Structure 1
Amino acid sequence: MTETKPFRIHVPQTDLDDLHRRLTDVRWPDEPPGIGSSRGIPLADMRSLVRRWRDGFDWRAQEERLNAFPQFVTEIDGQTIHYVHVRCGAPGALPLLLTHGWPGSFAEFLGIVEPLTADGYDVVIPSLPGFAFSTPVAETGWGNLFRVASAFAELMTRLGYERFAAHGSDVGAGVTGMLPMVAPGRVVATHINGPGPFPFGPALEVGGLGEADRVRAERFNEFQRDGLGYLHLQSTRPSTLAYSLTDSPAGQLAWIAEKYAEWTDVDLPAEDLLTVASLYWFTRSGASAAHFTYEGMQAFRAFAEQTGETGGTLSSGGVPVGVAVFATDHTIRSLVDPTGLAAHWSEYDRGGHFPALEVPGLLAGELRAFFGAYR
């Protein structure tokens, strides 16, 4: 099957009713006094978010907002792939593939579609296999980023794009970095935000670093010490975690709300977080996203054993690569890009792990400035 089909989001009312019931009947845990956020997202914060999700969040309005963007599905290598595709209509437009990470979704990039298309880019935003409407997952192995990159290159072929550019964040940065390898000669340039050291690697030495890099290194070491619980679970026991993420909307919300709280620099509207939580909940993709992480880590370990590479350094795949570092990133250029491989490097004093949501104007301007040279 190589055809693409138009797609519109429509969650059945029975699913909305079921969500409301579950949010009404949450079984709350006890919380030790005085712990604040030191052990995860506080109970008071979760109660407030659940009330907002149940009583003050209009999914149908968000559904309408998302459906304002042309969406499609196709089958590649046996897997349903969902994507947004917006053509700018300009002759000679440069196609730009945008790939999200975890705990994100295609929806985080929608705020930068208009400035990109206005500047002459065709925009393609796929959902990673196992995320949002690229579900259910047909078989194991889709956490292998080479396989994902190959599928996305095939998607661009089906859309009629022989030549294209790509940007990604988090897992999407890994996919983006592999595109020139799986589609040689077709990717004109790549751009990523927030590359950082390998999280399961050693702590960073802070001696000899400049002030800004020292702060980032200390932040990374703290994250490595106190913030990796989610990654350990998803990369070792996704099946066990899957029951909570699939059966409890409060559990799914807490699982990602903690990361939005810790990894952002800008206060996001609750509607942004609840839209993402709803996408994970309605598509049951909390579980498949966890399995994606597990498989990705297994593939990386196998690669590291074969090559001796431990990750954490920039690769270009033989094409120009641009990097944007936002305020809460752990990126230290002397460690990530010791040989000066990056053709473009920007650092910002605002934004975090989700710049398309937090600082869309900065990210859109960054992408336009970098990719403008490669039309």
Structure 2
Amino acid sequence: MILNIAVIKGDGVGPEMMESALEILKSVCRQFEHQLNLYPVMASGEAIDAVGNPMPEESLKICMEASAVLLGNTGLSKYRNSPQEKRPEFALMRLRKEMETTTNIRPVCIYPVLSELSPLKERIVQQGVDFVFVRDIAGGVFCSDKVKSEGEFGKEAYEYEYYNEKIITDTAAIAFELAGRRKNKVTNLDKSNVLGSSKLWRTTVQEVGKHYPEIELTHCYIDTAAMKIIESPKEFDVIVTSNLFGDIIADEGTQITGTPYLYASAEVAKNGKGIYTPNQLHHPDETMIGQQIVNPIGMIAAAAMMLRHSFGLEKEAAAIENAIRKAIEQGYRTKDIAKEGEQWLSTKQMGEKITGLLAY
């Protein structure tokens, strides 16, 4: 198969993570005899510094012609006070719009050998933590017009929590399809006891569920789920929810592992194209830049997700994921997941260890 992939190395520690991910991607494509075409893209901070635009038209054209986009870390403090359209994050926002991505997929699990890093009690962790967040990214307040005005009590600002059946159906269908490849269980999160948008969300998810009779569908209010995911994470497998709720609870779900830099994120469109990033897309510690100490596993896992979701290459994706698992089980660590006094590897060294563990 021919794989045409646009590569945005990103800001800060992004290039370091991306280097390891690309080396593993090249290796797996050699093993499975795929033609890998990588197209470097100038975007985010690099493009702002060069041409004053985080997503120049030529860069956008390369991304649109590719089958998928790999994107490293985005955002730096020096751009924090810039207008939105002049910040690195705007590149991702532009890509989402132009590629018509509808759904964010974020898998999270706790590796048993790293369970002590979780803030959860051991008895809870031992029950198992392994779920996937499926979040809409096409509707809700994040995608709304931003309204500002002067009112009776001074300045006002608000957005619209807008949804329609198509937006909800697109994301719900992805959730049910994923569940069919896992444990045949979907949990829908909403606030339908209060919000009209959530009532529409729940009824539409129920309608989609009728097309998947083998999948068990349950519902949970978002505030209840925020508690349950801590006290009994084993109850969840595929979790589907709206944009705002998903943005918050997916971060909670990641943080309860204690290892947030091990996971990936996919933003997919109905045509199969997607944007693939580390779960922690905006790495907060800028002192790590250029030090080769950032954990590359989230970016490597993103490459695996890309092979699965945009190219349908399940064996190849599994080969990378199995190599990650073996590296962790064999005791290889980067600084963020190493115990005090434990030897740890550089970004590049961890990538090399995982590459060496690739197998058919």
TM-score, scaled to structure 2: 0.28
More strand by percentage: 2
